[in-house]
Structure 1
Amino acid sequence: MIQLLTMKKLLSVLFILSFSMIVLAQKTISGVITDADGKPLASASVTVEEPGKNAILAYGISNAKGEYKVSVNSSEGNLDLKIKAFNQKPITQTIKNEDQKLNFSMDSQATEIQEVRLKTKLITKKGDTISYDLKSFENKNDRTLADVLKKIPGIEVNKDGTVLYQGEAINKFYVNGKDLMEGGYGTINNSLPKDAVSKVEVLENHQPVSILRDKVPSEQAALNIKLKKSVTMTGRGEIGAGFSPLLWNVKLTPMFFGQKNQWVVNYKANNNGESVENEGNLLSFGSRWEGRRSQVSANRWLNVEQAQTPDLPEKRYLLNNVHFFSANLLTSPFKNKEWELKLNANYTNNAIERDSYSNEILVNGSNIERTIHNDFYTNKAKGEMIFTKNAKKGFFKNTTTWTGMWSDNQADAFNQISADENLNAPTFNFTNSLSTILPWKDKLFNVMSYVSIQNDKQTLSSRPGRYSSFVPDPLFSTPEQFIPNNFEALRQYISLKSINTTHSASVGLSYRKWTFTPEAGISVNFNSMKSNLNGINGNESTLYGLDYQNNINWNEVQPYTQVGVNYKSQNINLNLTLPVNFYGIDYNDNLRGTGQAINKTRFEPTMFGSYDFASFFKLWIFGSIANSFGNFGDLYAGNILTNPTFVQVKSSQLPETTSRNASSRLEYRNPLNNLFFNVSYRIGNNTNNLVTNQRISPNGTILSEILERDNTSTSNSQRAEIGKYFPSFKTNFSVNFTNSNSKNYSMISDVNEDFETINERFYSIKNEGQAFGLKFNNTYFSWLSVDYNLTMNWRKSTDNSSNLTNKNSDWNHNLATYIYPSDNHTFGFIWDDITTTLAMESYRNSFFDVSYQYTWVKKKIDFEFKWLNIGNKKVYETISVNTLTNSIRRNTYNIRPSQFMFTVKFNFK
């Protein structure tokens, strides 16, 4: 209760601070601008400056009715207001610093132009749209949109391809205003030639559903890629070969973007360390009013032991053999162009090898060594059909998705003895999502329906069985007694079936700038799990017994009702969701005749709001309270071999978790001086009624169990980022800093060889971390370009029960330099340098690449030669701290050796 009151106070303080700034800091100047004939003047620029200074305090543009409005934050008594418009005589007037309405009439002014010189602005802003001239940020070695996008101030691109604006993920990725890829935009971003693009538009506060614009605000931005031509046939291709070992790389991605139809066909295959299959992932999910979308994944309960992956660019370590094919089509099937049909399909065939060695020192002093070799084989097929109408007078969207995944994972592991492990895991999923919004007078009716059906089967085997060391002996009635097993092999089988449905209806009521949306719905989930663990000797399979079987049902019925409150004005966006959720969970163990049930009612509000002021500033506030009473898989009474060294049983009470989160963010984006920055603060805590107890044997085998004990984990973080583009030096520079703190609780029990508890500790781990990032791009010299990225991390982990503290840090440098002696020739140098440190122990890993590229300028064809990992470094070494257990781990990873690649790159048109 104290924590809830604290969170309420924090939210109140955020509201008070935010709206105090709104009330006290701003003066609003508005009015109408007309020409000498009294006709409204559109696109007239209005700036407010301090007298005698060139610093712009506020900036605005008149709309089609000639109306303008600017907000000023200044302590000066008087201000200079300046108005400019094409073929009109400029106006400069000194005004008082107070709220006022001023109308202006501009006189015509014809100017004789002897010479016209056009100069494209780097960044322009009109309303909620910021436009970037792509050519201003590219260098001579850039070939695709993705190459240039990461150099633009205010925009970042994550390792997984997700595009961020002001530190937050975008919700849509359009090309000429159309959303062909429906969130899976990686293919276009990586393969669209930069020469086909005229500019990149950031649509701030973007609401994708047209009928809801100006009614339901959005906190996310979208990206719109404007092509040079309204009808464009383009695309990108690469064909390469190399050796050490025999290497190959094929990329063929033709594209067409028209006014009625768009399509992209993509085939990419390689064994040189590039995970092109990730281009099929969903990176953005649009608005909740479009229905429900998710990245379908296997409901994986079992796993072989897995070698770790290093924090390196994947080209350094990924040993793969991948084929990825995708096709995307958008068309308007009817004369009414408001209707769109989208067909998306992709298929992946992938094989990955991975090796690692780890030495981990646990808090009990045990020294665990593991050597793991993996072979992962994956086949995945996905088909999707989307039918959409997105108009100002109505909305309809139906998305049907079929997904099939077949994986066969293998491991050769060594932990005192060797083991051969295998996991076969097919998954099938069918999903249909429907959402429609219909207007009736001043009301909007919305109906949404979601159905998902998924089946997972998993079979895990380990040979020899004794590799799992110690498992409970079913002959003993006391669960504390264990004996070593003597089976030649163990085989764990699980079958999972899930049917999830959600249906809702709502009505939107508008009054002036307010929109109220009452909504009622119900979510029903049916889940079942069957499992058994077998011990195998010879050709016979010996069933362990009831203690190693499960047959459970986990069913949920969750009705809810809520009211959405939205307020939108020129400067203020406010969204409140006030739901009352009813949780009904029924867990049944069909083998043991036991079960649990829970019925709870909770009020779980969420809110976000934004305020634009002083033309370039935006203040955000967020807050939420949420509850969870468990998920399918949180309870089962029969032991499951979740991996060959981990036996798990979950026979506790239903988990209860309450999460409270609040955050605030201040943004500044000024296209007049190419400056962007944002600062943010986040705080949260989770209260739980259960804790995990890991019982560790002398050789590192773990038996996990769940115990009832109340605990609260907390976290908070602060982040700041600033970026500026310097046109005179053709330099983009940005820095960011993050500070984070968290506190978590867990239990560890040391056991002897008979799995009898000899020491038990309930303790908290406090984690502190700081991260610094720097990005620098320069193309000042026509013959040279430099891209440099630096990330530094410092971490401190403290066990409060023993006052044991571990500190570690890492540095990561990435430098790419290209020299252009002429238009035809490019020489490149790439340096990756990663260092990890713990106390007096440090591991440094440096990698160097060189390249030469000859460009056939007339045909726009590149011939590239690369020598990767010149030093032929074969292993990557790190030292780190497990933040959950405060144990120390040293890792050694096998990586790709020195290799040579020759590649031909070209545009399709």
Structure 2
Amino acid sequence: MKIYRLFCALILLVFTAGGTYAQSNYIVTGTVKDSTGTTLPGSTVKLISARDTVLTAADINGQFSIKATATGTYNLQIQSIGYQTLKKSIVISSGQTALGNMVLATESKLLAGVNIVEVTPVKIKEDTVEYNAAAYKVRDGAPVEDVLKKLPGVEVDKSGNVTAQGKSVTKVRVNGKDFFGGDVKTATQNLPADIIQNIQIIDDYGDQANLTGLKTGESEKVLNITVKADKNYGYFGQTSFGEGADAQQGVLSKDEANRYVASANVFSFNGDRQLAFLGNLNNTNTNLFTFGGGGPRSGGPGGRQQDGASASSGGITTARSLGFNYRDQWSKTVSAYGSYSFSDNTVNTLSSTIQTNTSLTDPSVNNIGSNQTDSKKNHRFNFNIEYKPDAANYLKFTPTVTYAGVNTDQSGSSNLIRNGETITDYNFNSISNSSSPNYGANLLYNHKFNTTGRNFSVNISGGRADVNKYQNPVYTYTSGVANTPLNQQINTDVKLDSVGAALSYIEPLSTKSFLEANYAYHYAYTTSDKATDTLNLTTNQLDRYGLLSNNYNFAFITNRLGLNYRFIDKKYNYTLGIAAQPTTLNGNSVTTGVQTHVTTFNIAPSARFIYNFSRSQSLSLNYSGASNQPSYSVLQPVTDFSNASYPTQGNADLKPEFNNNLSIRYNKFNFESGNVLFTNLSFTKTDNKIVANTITYPKLYAPDSKLAGTILTQYLNADGFYSGSGSYTYSKPFEKRKYTLSFNGNVSYNNNISYISNIDADSYAMTSQKNIAKSLVLTQGLRFRTDLTDIIDAELNGSYSLTNTSNSIAQANVNNRFSTINLGVNGKNYLWKDWTLSYDYTKIIYKGYTGATNPNVLNAYVERRFLKQNTGTIRLAAYDLFNQNTAFSNTPSGSYITQTNSNKLGRYFLLSFTLRLQKFAGKRPGPPDGGPGGPGGGGMRPEGGPPPGV
């Protein structure tokens, strides 16, 4: 009962703390016009007094109504893009003050090429949604992440991952240039919010598309952060260190369970030159950089893990990270920017997995327990040099070097039960290590001819990716069939060399229409040498196992020739195109001499339509088609027994997949009410989808066969795969964004295809059947925010998530429905000016998971600001106070369903100190440099104008 009393008390605190400040009885009205009598909708109206500032926007008719808290003298300021700011002193002495027409004079001096300071909280323009950071106030010293959490249509999860309008944000830029290689959390969790002018969410189609203006294919979500002009000269630095301990049953532990954190970041801004240094050391699961899986891995003995990820989002991480970011204008024509990032992380994951395997006659359940430690090292270096000698020519050179390495030590047990009978029961130990250095470079050139609209660009890329991998899985069988070699040493050496070029030429047909011819070529050559040695129990020597070894080389060649027509008008623009794409896959097994030759030919139409109803309302539609080449792991024609129960076997005759993608987006912002609506729909249909064919072998199979009792995965091409998804966000603010109510929902549906095969125990004949696994994932969320500057910043939230999977091959007693309910309250209360009380409580209710508990998770801290200008902060924090945090996840596929429970960092306390220093000169920088990815990222340009490249 104490938990629920605390929850109710926090809810009451949110509402009562905000209600005191919501009273207002004095209204000022007026209409904003220019000198010609034209109304100016969206104009910002500020009412400023000694104790408060109230902000509103003129409605679609240019009219405004703003509330004051008391009688007296106020300063009124009215702003609109392209007009001089109107400043006026007014006296409020009665319930309503009518000002009549407020006329703005035209701005006589316009600044070309600088970031426009938006006067409305949200601006919507084709591929960009822009938020004015000043409209979403946070506490001094807060990171950008705290602002993102307040933006409608933007979600930040507990791990700091950002999604916008239902799609993951994959890259971040600062003033239009990649920041730390585009690492999202590096920027959002380390940049201070008080230097930010605005935040843009951009649908980015790449540098070449930003130059030419012709955008086709799939976009990625990019976050662009623009720095305030008066913050571009100065420095900001922050250092933190803290120590604490785990706590069990309310008593601090005395073993090696101390928690520690140390971090430092320095940002130096000197106009065009920007420097950033970041460092972090902790064992509190805080990663400074995101590098992906940390090294290539195939399925290990403990289950079908891929890409170096743990079974779920659990595990305990010790992180060591260091990074440097650089940007400067070397001359009037040359600019440069780049970064280096390094991390050395150790992750320990304890997991238990229940895997239900689909079968025609013999469904099985596999119980897996695993203790896995991954030591991961990552290096990432990227650099960009932009050369712009004149208005007609632009050149960009981008070299990159990355390295990913992981050493893994895993032990555990596996028990496979089929029809109530134990097929295999074994313990396993596995040691593996891998390294993957990658080198690449990209060269982009664009030329604008004297004829308006005529444009030529070329993009050339090349590189090498290496994968060197060693595995030593050792199995000890306790019962069932001992099918797999008990001790293997597997060495894999993969080299991928690639080169590509894309050319584009645009010819204007009129002032509004353009024709583009484009050609793209890509060549990739892969050598994959896999050697498996097994322990000979007679001689106690390692012998080469020929059936598990193979040296396979293949080349994948793609040509794409296309034609696009684009029309641009004031309200709308569209692109219609068609492309022919032949592909060739040539393979050769050095070991067996077997050669393969696969060709395909696809016609890929494309379409893109943008309609701008107004400055605050837009509709977009995009369709594209593209091929996807198979990876070496599914092509190499050899059996892999690194996982005893689930061997895999490649297929050299696979065709490349071809994806047809359709997306529709509708965005709307209401100037008068501040309501925001974002909706997205997407659909993908894949031809020649690479799918799994799982073959269940009987316990008693051919003598000496290593496949007895296993479930072998082969790969085939199949049609019929499609997926669809949709999302929406509706946000309604009240009382000038002091309160905000938001609804958000996501739904996704996958029509997965697989083949299920069984081997008859007597005749050894194989029976196969196509399985359609229909998977539905539904999420609905609701949140209510209270934002009172320097008083309270709190949120009530709730969400429901459902995953349901049904197979056309019916399986009895299979749990295929999982749901999760999250109920929570989080916030910060600011007390006595310099004190902060923060709380984050979540009640999680799991349904459908075997053995799942319903944890209460409470994190809280109290901190005190002190020293001159509040440069010092001391914080006492408690994490997972009830020590109930768990990590449950499920993964549906066409041939199995898994549910996994893994460890998470439990209850601990941490005392930390933070020192924050900053100094800015207040100067304004010159105009930003040109080229793609500048402020706005190619998404914000004058309505109805030609493409940037023309």
TM-score (norm 2): 0.74
Give the match's secondary structure for 1:827.
strand
Mapping for residues 392-403 of structure 1, pairs under 5 Å = 392-403=391-402
Mapping for residues 433-448 of structure 1, pairs under 5 Å = 433-442=442-451, 443-448=454-459
Q: Which residue of 1 aligns with 2:755?
A: 747
Q: Report how far residue 793 of structure 1 moved.
A: 1.1
Q: Distance in 2 between matches of 1:568 and 1:468?
A: 71
Task: Give yes or no for contact 1:467–1:645 (8 Å, CA) kept in 2.
Answer: no
Q: Which residue of 2 aligns with 1:809?
A: 819
Q: Distance in 2 between matches of 1:891 and 1:520?
A: 46
Gap change, CA 1:745 and 1:666, over 3 Å in 2: same
Q: Distance in 1 between matches of 2:882 and 2:525?
A: 56
Asked if 1:359 corresponds to 2:371, the answer is no
Asked if 1:845 corresponds to 2:840, the answer is no
Gap change, CA 1:489 and 1:43, over 3 Å in 2: closer
Give the match's secondary structure for 2:145.
helix
After TM superposition, the structure 1 stretch with the greater mean CA deviation from structure 2, 432-441 or 659-668, is 659-668
Q: Report how far residue 770 of structure 1 moved.
A: 1.7
Mapping for residues 604-683 of structure 1, pairs under 5 Å = 604-628=604-628, 630-651=630-651, 653-683=653-683
Q: Report how far residue 386 of structure 1 moved.
A: 1.4
Q: Which residue of 1 aligns with 2:831?
A: 821
Q: Which of 316, 321, 326 is the equivalent residue of 1:324?
A: 321
Asked if 1:800 corresponds to 2:808, the answer is yes
Q: Distance in 2 between matches of 1:669 and 1:751?
A: 60
Q: Which residue of 2 aligns with 1:100?
A: none
Q: Report how far residue 148 of structure 1 moved.
A: 1.6
Asked if 1:256 corresponds to 2:268, the answer is yes
Q: Distance in 2 between matches of 1:341 and 1:885?
A: 49
Q: Which residue of 2 aligns with 1:305?
A: 302
Q: Distance in 2 between matches of 1:689 and 1:384?
A: 34
Q: Which of 401, 419, 431 is the equivalent residue of 2:440?
A: 431
Q: Report how far residue 314 of structure 1 moved.
A: 13
What is the letter of the counterpart of residue 384 of structure 2?
I
Q: Which residue of 2 aligns with 1:548?
A: 548
Asked if 1:908 corresponds to 2:917, the answer is yes
Task: Give yes or no for contact 2:321–2:344 (8 Å, CA) kept in 1.
Answer: yes
Mapping for residues 471-490 of structure 1, pairs under 5 Å = 484=483, 488-490=486-488
Gap change, CA 1:213 and 1:400, over 3 Å in 2: closer
Asked if 1:236 corresponds to 2:231, the answer is no
What is the letter of the counterpart of residue 367 of structure 1?
V
Asked if 1:869 corresponds to 2:864, the answer is no
Which consecutive unaligned segments of at least 5 residues does structure 1 have?
1-32, 55-59, 66-81, 89-118, 282-294, 471-482
Q: Which residue of 1 aligns with 2:52?
A: none
What is the letter of the counterpart of residue 680 of structure 2?
S
Q: Distance in 1 between matches of 2:852 and 2:296?
A: 38
Task: Give yes or no for contact 1:461–1:490 (8 Å, CA) kept in 2.
Answer: yes
Q: Report how far residue 410 of structure 1 moved.
A: 1.3
Deviations 1:479-505 (A, max 9, x none): xxxx835x5511111110110110233
Q: Distance in 1 between matches of 2:224 and 2:364?
A: 52
Task: Give yes or no for contact 1:238–1:250 (8 Å, CA) kept in 2.
Answer: yes
Gap change, CA 1:235 and 1:842, over 3 Å in 2: same
Gap change, CA 1:755 and 1:892, over 3 Å in 2: farther
Aligned length: 790
Gap change, CA 1:772 and 1:560, over 3 Å in 2: same
Q: Which of 420, 443, 447 is the equivalent residue of 2:429?
A: 420
Task: Give yes or no for contact 1:749–1:757 (8 Å, CA) kept in 2.
Answer: no
Give the match's secondary structure for 2:654.
coil
Mapping for residues 470-549 of structure 1, pairs under 5 Å = 484=483, 488-510=486-508, 511-537=510-536, 540-543=540-543, 545-549=545-549
Asked if 1:268 corresponds to 2:280, the answer is yes
Q: Distance in 1 between matches of 2:745 and 2:886?
A: 27
Mapping for residues 188-227 of structure 1, pairs under 5 Å = 188-197=187-196, 199-202=197-200, 215-216=213-214, 223-227=224-228
What is the letter of the counterpart of residue 395 of structure 1?
Y
Q: Report how far residue 596 of structure 1 moved.
A: 1.2
Q: Distance in 2 between matches of 1:48 and 1:890?
A: 51
Gap change, CA 1:209 and 1:807, over 3 Å in 2: closer
Gap change, CA 1:441 and 1:758, over 3 Å in 2: closer
Asked if 1:389 corresponds to 2:387, the answer is yes
Q: Which residue of 2 aligns with 1:860?
A: 871
Q: Distance in 1 between matches of 2:206 and 2:545?
A: 55
Task: Give yes or no for contact 1:161–1:186 (8 Å, CA) kept in 2.
Answer: yes
Task: Give yes or no for contact 2:426–2:475 (8 Å, CA) kept in 1.
Answer: no
Q: Distance in 1 between matches of 2:831 and 2:373?
A: 45
Q: Distance in 2 between matches of 1:657 and 1:469?
A: 39
Give the match's secondary structure for 1:633.
helix
Asked if 1:277 corresponds to 2:281, the answer is no
Q: Distance in 1 between matches of 2:803 and 2:600?
A: 39
What is the letter of the counterpart of residue 227 of structure 2?
K
Gap change, CA 1:302 and 1:468, over 3 Å in 2: farther
Gap change, CA 1:862 and 1:600, over 3 Å in 2: same
Task: Give yes or no for contact 1:348–1:381 (8 Å, CA) kept in 2.
Answer: yes
Give the match's secondary structure for 1:740.
strand
Give the match's secondary structure for 1:779.
strand
Q: Report how far residue 302 of structure 1 moved.
A: 5.6
Q: Report how far residue 575 of structure 1 moved.
A: 3.0
Give the match's secondary structure for 2:632.
coil
Task: Tell which has more relative contact order, 1 or 2 (C-alpha 8 A, sep 6+).
Answer: 2
TM-score (norm 1): 0.78
Gap change, CA 1:438 and 1:751, over 3 Å in 2: same
Deviations 1:740-777 (A, max 9, x none): 32222223345689995787553222222321122332
Gap change, CA 1:48 and 1:185, over 3 Å in 2: closer
Which consecutive unaligned segments of at least 5 residues does structure 2 have?
1-32, 45-56, 66-78, 85-99, 107-116, 247-256, 415-424, 700-707, 919-950
What is the letter of the counterpart of residue 235 of structure 1?
G
Gap change, CA 1:209 and 1:449, over 3 Å in 2: closer
Mapping for residues 464-475 of structure 1, pairs under 5 Å = 464=475
Gap change, CA 1:640 and 1:754, over 3 Å in 2: farther
After TM superposition, the structure 1 stretch with the greater mean CA deviation from structure 2, 300-309 or 363-372, is 300-309
After TM superposition, the structure 1 stretch with the greater mean CA deviation from structure 2, 734-743 or 492-501, is 734-743
Cα RMSD, aligned residues only: 4.2
**Percent identity of the aligned residues?**
14
Gap change, CA 1:816 and 1:594, over 3 Å in 2: same
Task: Give yes or no for contact 1:366–1:698 (8 Å, CA) kept in 2.
Answer: no
Task: Give yes or no for contact 1:466–1:484 (8 Å, CA) kept in 2.
Answer: no
Q: Distance in 2 between matches of 1:439 and 1:120?
A: 30
Task: Give yes or no for contact 1:191–1:236 (8 Å, CA) kept in 2.
Answer: no
Gap change, CA 1:744 and 1:133, over 3 Å in 2: closer
Asked if 1:86 corresponds to 2:88, the answer is no
Give the match's secondary structure for 1:637.
coil
Q: Which residue of 2 aligns with 1:778?
A: 786
Task: Give yes or no for contact 1:816–1:828 (8 Å, CA) kept in 2.
Answer: yes
What is the letter of the counterpart of residue 285 of structure 2?
G
Give the match's secondary structure for 1:376.
strand
After TM superposition, the structure 1 stretch with the greater mean CA deviation from structure 2, 538-547 or 450-459, is 538-547
Q: Distance in 2 between matches of 1:802 and 1:124?
A: 50
Give the match's secondary structure for 1:634.
helix
Q: Which residue of 1 aligns with 2:558?
A: 558
What is the letter of the counterpart of residue 267 of structure 1?
G
Q: Which residue of 2 aligns with 1:11?
A: none
Gap change, CA 1:85 and 1:131, over 3 Å in 2: farther
Q: Distance in 2 between matches of 1:817 and 1:134?
A: 19
Gap change, CA 1:535 and 1:194, over 3 Å in 2: same
Q: Which residue of 1 aligns with 2:469?
A: 458
Task: Give yes or no for contact 1:816–1:830 (8 Å, CA) kept in 2.
Answer: yes
Task: Give yes or no for contact 1:843–1:879 (8 Å, CA) kept in 2.
Answer: no
